[in-house]
Amino acid sequence: MTDTSASSDVSRAAEPQRLAIPVPARSGESWLPPDTGNDPFRLITDNQIDMICLYRTDGTIEYTNHSYARFFGHTPASLVGTYLVNLSPPEAQQSAEENLHQTVASFLKDSEKTTVEFELSDFEGNNAWIEWSNQPVFDDQGKLLFIVSVGRDVTARYTAQAQLLDMNQRLADSNRDLQDFAYVASHDLQEPLRKIIAFSGRLAQKAGPELGEKNLDYLDRIGGAAHRMQRLIEDLLEVSRVATKGSELVPTDLNVVLADVVSDLEVAIERANATVTIASDLPSVPADDVQMRQLFQNLIGNALKFRADGRPPQVSVTVKQLATDDLPATLRATNSRFVQLSVADNGIGFDEVYADKIFTVFQRLHGRDAYEGSGIGLSVCKRIIDRHQGLISAHSVEDQGATFNVILPLSDDK
């Protein structure tokens, strides 16, 4: 119910979209035909769930359907001639009158339909969110005569939105608690592991000859297991830091980031006799500079690590801006522009059945003896991309290399 007040004899200078209707000569006379029970207009409107009200520019109700009248505890006939604002409770009548004036004033400037939403109380005191669509009615001289207001109860939508916000907040709180727990637990676990490593090393050094070869092997296994556990804890800390220790996202030049990453990997590149080619026209993206370096160092480092025997590694980083039709469905609803960076290699590849699984924490496709590492690098990459509101995916054929596609939103200024 959008309400306002102005003279019923108001005209517009601009050419409106007009609906020619018979105009009553007296304010108490209705332009509607008598209610005989067979009038098509009344039959249609009275069987609508939506609330319908036709009122004059001074706020006088000319017609309502049953849904509208029922909401306020009246019959349609009893509301004819009623001042629209009086249907609101006393404490809300000032706001209702302001809405009425604003609605009429807006239609004197613009004949376009308007839509507003606000909360109302029905005659029993129950609150409901109503979406009101307001349409002006002009005569053939451009004079504003009536406003047709159609109200739809959207309380269920508001309730669902509130529940969703509450669930999202609870999820965020739960994730934060889990991250804090992982960080604290990892730190607390470090100290006993350091003692296991230190005392097993001392025992082997001081009592080695007396322990014998078999017992020394046991100590060596204890030390090896403790070192692996320490590495896993450090990796778990690294995963938790993506969300808990990230810096603000600021415009970041990826040309600089990739140049620094290649410089940092210079020794590994030379040792592998690899060729790394970086596109020269990389964009600027809103990013955490440190995490972007970590992302591409992991991806290029993996390309060097998982190289094929007898085939010098060739790694390329290419870029293309994505059109809306090229975006995954999850990103099309946003108003952002996106860019895709692809890191491709000619290494050992993998079976694409594992394309999603490889981004799971501590997931390895190869034995510990074949390749070093704990299997958290790609999981960290995914968490970095999630934090940057992008997507990462992998495509590969065994023994024919792999391609990792990173989609990131572009900075607004580029």
Write the DSSP assignment of 211-241 as a string of letters: HHHHHHHHHHHHHHHHHHHHHHHHHHHHHHH
- 63-77, 171-185, 354-368: range with highest mean pLDDT: 63-77
Output the pTM of the full model: 0.51
| Per-residue pLDDT reduced to its tens digit, 7-40 | 333 333 333 333 344 444 434 445 565 666 667 7
How many percent of the chain have pLDDT more than 70? 81
The mean of the pLDDT values for the chain is 80
pLDDT at 343 over 90: yes
pLDDT on residue 22: 43
Which of 175-183's residues contact partners 24+ apart within 8 Å by CB, and which partners?
A: 175/243, 179/240, 179/243, 179/244, 180/244, 182/236, 182/237, 182/239, 182/240, 183/237, 183/240, 183/241, 183/244
| Per-residue pLDDT reduced to its tens digit, 139-153 | 888 888 888 999 999
pLDDT at 365 over 60: no
Match 């009200």 to its residue by tokens.
53
Could you tell me the pLDDT band of residue 174, with boundaries at 50, 70 and 90? confident
Q: What is the mean pLDDT of residues 73-79?
A: 90
Q: What is the mean pLDDT of residues 314-333?
A: 86
pLDDT at 364 over 70: no
Could you tell me the pLDDT band of residue 89, with boundaries at 50, 70 and 90? confident
pLDDT at 222 over 80: yes
Could you tell me the pLDDT band of residue 248, with boundaries at 50, 70 and 90? confident
Where do the domains of the chain lie? 10-153, 155-245, 250-409
pLDDT on residue 4: 38
Q: Give the type of residue at 198.
A: A
pLDDT on residue 225: 83
Q: Does domain 250-409 have CATH number 3.30.2130.10?
A: no
Report residue 380: phi and psi, to 5°: -65, -40
pLDDT at 200 over 70: yes
Report residue 22: phi and psi, to 5°: -70, 130
pLDDT at 334 over 80: no
pLDDT on residue 318: 95
Task: Report in angstroms the alpha-carbon separations of 177 from 173, 182, 187, 281, 379.
Answer: 6, 9, 15, 41, 20
pLDDT on residue 11: 37
CATH class of the domain at 155-245: mainly alpha
Radius of gyration over every alpha carbon of the chain, rounded to an integer in angstroms: 35
Match 């109700």 to its residue by tokens.
61
pLDDT on residue 412: 61
pLDDT at 240 over 80: no
Q: What is the mean pLDDT of residues 277-287?
A: 92
CATH topology of domain 10-153: Beta-Lactamase (3.30.450)
- CA distance linking residue 173 with residue 175, whole number of Å: 5
Higher pLDDT, 400 or 12: 400
Higher pLDDT, 157 or 46: 157
Q: Are 304 and 371 in contact (CB under 8 A)?
A: no
Q: Are 133 and 150 in contact (CB under 8 A)?
A: yes
Higher pLDDT, 285 or 118: 285
